[in-house]
Amino acid sequence: MHHPFNPEKFFKNLPSTHSGDFEKNALALFEFQFEHNKVYREYSQRIGRPPEQVDSLMKIPFLPVRFFKTHPVFCGDVPFTNYFLSSGTTGTQPSKHYIKEISSYLTNCVRCYNYSWGALDNYSILALIPLLKNRETSSLVHMVEHFIQLSNDSVSGFYYENEECLADLLSHPTGKFPANKRIILLGLSYALYDFFYKHPIHFPELILMETGGMKGRKKEMTRMELHEFLTNQTGVQKVYSEYGMTELMSQSYIVPPSFSFSPPPWMKILIRDIHDPFHFLLEGKRGAVNVIDLANIHTCAFLELDDLGIIDPEGNFQILGRMDESDWRGCNLMIFS
């Protein structure tokens, strides 16, 4: 018997997703999105992938992520009033991700964090993220603001506009942080670079986490070089990363001791052949990245990205850079400091 798709129930059950039912869930969501998302339906039909042609995960059509710049991607008849915009470099068209409910987005961010790092109230969260004039449309700012609230201590907060205070906290931490809490400094790559360039502070216990974002900086730098610089300036063993995109509801984190991003169970990365987007590559082979994010219920869960990457047998992934012809994006790996 074919049960009608229930988006609320589907979202509620995401945390219990396991590898055995991922394909079934993805196919159910595909049918729902094909029916209700006009842009995705037209695209799928154009490339010859209507539901009757799709009987496995590998046959689901992936929408090129640039459609979020040029078309309204959402399920239903009218776009939702809430949306996030990508930071995009100046002069480029930003991506627009319509969000049915911001509260669902925040719930999902917490689930992703819990999956990788555990409960937020075990951490003090210091953020080096500019609170720009467009903070209402920044998915990153919404997420970090929520994490700061849930960390539930007075030290957690945004420090981009208050660097001296942060430098003082980190240089003389004794008695300033709640006991038994680990301290995370989460920041845009360029903000972490600029801060520790000015303030080298030996603090090996600090958890340093970069969230990408080096657009328009003077000196080119790879993620590897950035991490090396930060470990030298602070004495931390390793720098962690968060992988998120305006167009995705879910985030992935690098978790010790790995160097790969570990997606939550409701998210899956596939690697496609650069010359044949319908051909998928095995673990360990470099190619372009496709992502399935089952939390993208009300937009499109199946996206073809402009990133290059590689996956391992456990489904963890590394991002290796950008495809040449795709336009610039703020969360680029080539970093400008």
| Domains with residue ranges and CATH for the chain | 102-260 (3.40.50.980)
What is the dihedral angle through the alpha carbons of 197, 202, 205, 208, rounded to the nearest 10 degrees?
0
Q: Can the peptide bond before residue 200 be classed as cis, meaning omega within 30 degrees of 0? A: no
Average pLDDT, the chain: 91
Would you state the pLDDT for residue 52? 95
The set of residues, in sequence order, having a beta carbon less than 8 Å from that of 262 and lying 6+ positions away, is: 116, 252, 253, 254, 255, 314, 316
Cα atoms in the 13 Å half-sphere on the side-chain side of 12 = 5
Please report where in the chains the tokens 């992938």 appear, as a residue.
49
Q: What is the pLDDT of residue 336?
A: 32
The pLDDT, as a whole number, for residue 2 is: 65
Per-residue confidence (pLDDT) for residue 331, from 0 to 100 = 40
Q: What letter would DSSP give residue 94?
A: P
Q: Take residue 111 and report the two structure tokens written for it.
A: 């689930």
Strands (E), 118-181: 123-128, 157-158
**Taking the mean position of all CA atoms in its chain, how far away is CA 86?**
12
Residue 15 token pair = 């945390």
∠ CA 142-268-70 to the nearest 5 degrees?
Answer: 60
pTM: 0.92
How many H helices and E strands in the chain? 9, 16
Q: Which residues does the chain have with pLDDT short of 50?
A: 218, 325-337
Q: What are phi and psi of 179, to 5 degrees?
A: -65, 155
